[in-house]
Chain A
Amino acid sequence: MSDKLVTMEIDGLTVQFPEGMNLVDAARSVGINIPNLCHLEHMRGVGACRMCVVEVEGMRAPNTACTMKTKEGMKIKTDSEQIKDLRRMVIDLILSMHPLDCMTCPKAGVCWLQDLAYQLDVKDSAYGRKSFDFEIDDSNGFIERDPNYCILCGKCVRVCTAQNTNILEFMGRGVGSKVTTERDKPLNETDCTFCGSCLDACPVNAILESGRRLKGREWELFKTDTVCTLCGAACPIDVSEKDGKVVKITSPKPNAFICAAGRFSYDSLAAKNRVTTPMIRSNGELKETSWVEAIKVISDKLASARSNPAKVGILASAAVTNEDAYMLQKLGRAVIGTNNVDSTASLYDTSTVPAYQKAFGKIAGAERCITEADLIIVLGMNASQWSRTLPAIDAKIRKQVSGGAKLIVLDPAEIKLAEVATKHLKLAEGTDTSALAALMAVLVKEKLVNKNRANKAKGLADVRNAASSSDVAALCAEAGLSEEDVKEAAELIAKSKVPMLFYSTGVSAKDNGVDTVLQALNLSALIGGQVLPVGLEANMAGVAAMGLSPLTLPGFAADGKKLAKAWKTDLPEAAGIGAREMLNGGLDFLYGVGDLPVSEGYEKPAEFVVAHVTHMNEFAKTADVVLPSPAFVEQEGSIINYYGRMKMLWSAVEPAADVMAPWQMAAELAESLGYKTKVDILDDVTEEVEKLALPPEKTTQTTSVITPSKGTGSGLAASGSMMTLSGSVIDASKVSELMRQAVTA
């Protein structure tokens, strides 16, 4: 696609499009839906099904729209009688090999074939019907494949191939050929990750959620667009509900990726270890109690613990909502008088907040979307669909690379993503700042990037000068890279138009992580790129913006004056402690929210411990009071994703437990300690957040020259995933193991 606009005529309508856009996508963007069965939005058309035929002025025969691009002066007709007849023939042929099962078919209502047959009024095939009696693959608990319904559109093959899972393919040839796995193996005998991308892509009932049958017809389902909070990718999801139960979860965007956990782990809502009522420990055992009683016990304890605020801590996972985070830190700062408020984000990322505060005064996101990127740079991020670490990020990057984008991986290790890298710079451990400096030096010295493409940033001239006076050979030697390799990478950068840099715990958990992030921001400013800080949990940026950190105040406020006034209280002055110290023990009172990553046999970290959780976990086992919390797809509120965008969470089902959200609990406790919160409903918090805690709007980046340094150390979670399944934090390998057990069970 180019930036040039062209004027065309579709069905008599004069419209403008960017030149070179896929015709099906272009028509759809102006509300004209050209029927199609094999086209995948944003991917190259393949012209396999011939459903999208249109008449083009000046062409002798009708042509497939999905293989044509927008062009100046093009005139097309999408709906003439001739075209409709051609389409009828296509449907007729498909129906001659397709069961007419609409009355019981679980896909009825979302089946494209059914819709098109209806629109074109084709009742049955004029050619009779041939059936093949293919075997159904229902080998695993997630996805069922029934090739008897397959119309050979190839969409599943292309999505699975584009994301590099490569499980499905066309097998055989001619009549009787089929889309299946190598040797027709059941999915659980292949390397399938059960992401279900193929399922979302399949226009008919050939790929289906296992157990979808008899759970409700499509038009009976109530759909809620929300966000998966199970990992740092924070994918948009669409939750279908009927009679208070989740029926299925799909991706709301066509041809987008969600992983097996996001799609299938809703069964954890009713898991055995779900905490369904408040519990209090008596005689060493946790016993059920009422909310009234639980709140009384906690607030009594808090009332006395408050006399020594340095010994009180509030710690939440970074998967809580902004509203939760805001109220929890307010409880700490305004009511208890302590800065001991933190989230688990500080366990794997100690760099993003300070670096971004220096450069932007807030965590800034990206303005462009990864689907626009033509160059992706991956720095210290071991995302992988297979180890189930940030799987959606891995899939998105791979899809972009399959579509022609270039990929530079900066990582000392042979990470899985490096397989598809255009250039893997295997720098020496901890030398990220040097490697980035070397890249900048080459870019500036060899005049590979001109000034026009730079982002607007203060101090960029200094960064440029520093780069032009640095010694490329020395920097490369420090980073253990050859100059040729660095040059090749720099040339890829030079050729790109929309470069995007992702980084994660591989740099942000290191002791020189702040410098690395600043250096990455320098590079990005220089080349007109975007930086995406990816955390392991869904709301890393949000909890920081809300001030749930001993280091930041709500809205990244520079001082507490405005807050003190609004909160009608003085803010604590003593510096607070972070997650690691809190978990290490020695406190009088600790309020822990969500999944805190502690291992088996963990010792009680405070004299009095409150655990506010969805499922029983190792931390909650040590608690004096355990409180039930809304889980994934039950939560309400907002988060800030790794693009820096605010996303709303809507409760898709009634919680399967007698829950109270953390923000509400924080308000209850504040009130019980005599603090007036004026908070009754979620909107009250949202309003206060809007007034006091929203990160500043547009800010200009300030760059600063970074002296390369060698980093050491890696945070607790940098080596594995923090993805949660069935409510407990487990490392990546265990998630895979669990998935596999589920599959083989």
Chain B
Amino acid sequence: MDLKNIDINKEIGAVGDVLNQEQKTKGLLIHAFQKLQSEMNYLPEEALKALGEKLNIPMSFVYSTASFYKQFYFNPRGKTIVKVCTGTACHVRGAGEVLSELKEEFGVEEGETTEDLSMTLETVGCVGCCGLAPVATINEDVIGEIDDERINEIIQSVKEA
């Protein structure tokens, strides 16, 4: 998105009519975060800086707003996002092992991305497939009943992606 030439009224559309200037700028922030993230996969500091300057909002406030939402990321994300479920059912059925094996294989901690940006490892609360525990998601797909073999499959699919 072209941060230098944002037109608040154009970006924010019809809702803008009922908002004051301050509400508009704040509303636009979230909208801009979403656009930026869909373009760049995360919210780079430089882009946020340009955005803050353009909207005349201090950086502390920009980050405060963005960090309120789980959906925004401040570091580059991998091509494949692996989320290991650590909900109760998965926890008791070995999510911990799944997680540590993936950590070891890719040399990353929870919440980190591999240096080659191939993968980001995260955890997630119950994804609603407790019957298949332990569960992980790979991008949008759910993988259940993870055993050693399935782990290898996950690793393979990351490497091949």
Residues in A lying within 8 Å of B, measured CB to CB = 161, 166-173, 181-183
Contact = CB atoms under 8 A, between A and B. Distances in A.
Contacts of A172: 67-68
A169 B60 contact: yes
Residue of B60, B63, B68, B70 with most chain A CB atoms under a 10 A cut-off: B60
29 contacts: A161-B58, A166-B58, A166-B59, A166-B60, A166-B61, A167-B60, A168-B60, A169-B60, A169-B61, A169-B63, A169-B64, A170-B64, A171-B63, A171-B64, A171-B67, A172-B67, A172-B68, A173-B67, A173-B68, A173-B69, A173-B70, A181-B60, A182-B59, A182-B60, A182-B62, A182-B63, A183-B45, A183-B63, A183-B74
Interface residues of B, number: 13
Contacts of A181: 60
A77 B64 CA distance: 37
Select the residue from B45, B68, B69, B74 with max chain A CB neighbours within 10 A.
B68
A504 to B, nearest CB: 26
Contacts of B70: 173
Contacts of A169: 60-61, 63-64
B29 to A, nearest CB: 13
Contacts of A167: 60
A169 B60 CA distance: 6
Nearest to B69: A173
Interface string B59-81: 11111100111100010000000
B20 to A, nearest CB: 15
A166 B68 CA distance: 18
A183 B67 CA distance: 9
B126 to A, nearest CB: 17
A32 B24 CA distance: 42
A167 B45 CA distance: 16
Nearest to A419: B56
Contacts of B68: 172-173
A181 B74 CA distance: 14
A407 to B, nearest CB: 16
A79 to B, nearest CB: 36
Contacts of B60: 166-169, 181-182
Given A166-B60, A170-B64, 16 more contacts: A161-B58, A167-B60, A168-B60, A169-B61, A171-B64, A171-B67, A172-B67, A173-B67, A173-B69, A173-B70, A181-B60, A182-B59, A182-B60, A183-B45, A183-B63, A183-B74
A687 B59 CA distance: 55
Contacts of B61: 166, 169
Most chain-B Cβ atoms within 10 A of its Cβ — which of A167, A169, A172, A173?
A169
Nearest to A167: B60
A169 B67 CA distance: 11
Contacts of A173: 67-70
A169 B68 CA distance: 11
A183 B69 CA distance: 14
A171 B64 CA distance: 5
Contacts of B74: 183
B61 to A, nearest CB: 6
Contacts of A182: 59-60, 62-63
Nearest to A173: B68
Contacts of A183: 45, 63, 74
Nearest to A170: B64
A585 B69 CA distance: 67
A646 to B, nearest CB: 39
A656 B67 CA distance: 49
Contacts of B63: 169, 171, 182-183
A161 B58 CA distance: 9
Contacts of B62: 182
A318 B7 CA distance: 51
Nearest to A172: B67
A214 to B, nearest CB: 32
Nearest to A179: B64
B76 to A, nearest CB: 14
B89 to A, nearest CB: 22
A92 to B, nearest CB: 27
B88 to A, nearest CB: 18
A173 B69 CA distance: 8
A161 B59 CA distance: 12
A181 B70 CA distance: 18
B77 to A, nearest CB: 16
A274 to B, nearest CB: 38
Nearest to B49: A182
B55 to A, nearest CB: 13
B8 to A, nearest CB: 19
Nearest to B64: A169
Ordered nearest first, which 8 A-B pairs have the shortest CB separation?
A166-B58, A169-B64, A169-B60, A182-B59, A182-B63, A171-B67, A172-B67, A173-B68
B137 to A, nearest CB: 22
A188 to B, nearest CB: 15
A133 to B, nearest CB: 15
Nearest to B61: A169
A611 to B, nearest CB: 45
A170 B67 CA distance: 9
B70 to A, nearest CB: 8
Contacts of A171: 63-64, 67
A70 B77 CA distance: 53
Interface string B15-58: 00000000000000000000000000000010000000000001
A171 B67 CA distance: 6
B109 to A, nearest CB: 15
A166 B61 CA distance: 8
Nearest to B45: A183
A643 to B, nearest CB: 31
A172 B68 CA distance: 5
Contacts of B45: 183
Contacts of B69: 173
A494 to B, nearest CB: 24
Nearest to B48: A182
A294 to B, nearest CB: 54
B47 to A, nearest CB: 13
A490 to B, nearest CB: 24
B118 to A, nearest CB: 24
A169 B64 CA distance: 6
Interface string B113-131: 0000000000000000000
A371 to B, nearest CB: 24
A467 B68 CA distance: 55
Identify which of A161, A167, A183 gathers the most chain B CB atoms within 10 Å of its CB.
A183
Q: Which of A161, A167, A168, A170 lies at the interface centre, i.e. has the most chain B CB atoms within 10 A of its CB?
A: A170
Contacts of B64: 169-171
A214 B86 CA distance: 44
A167 to B, nearest CB: 6
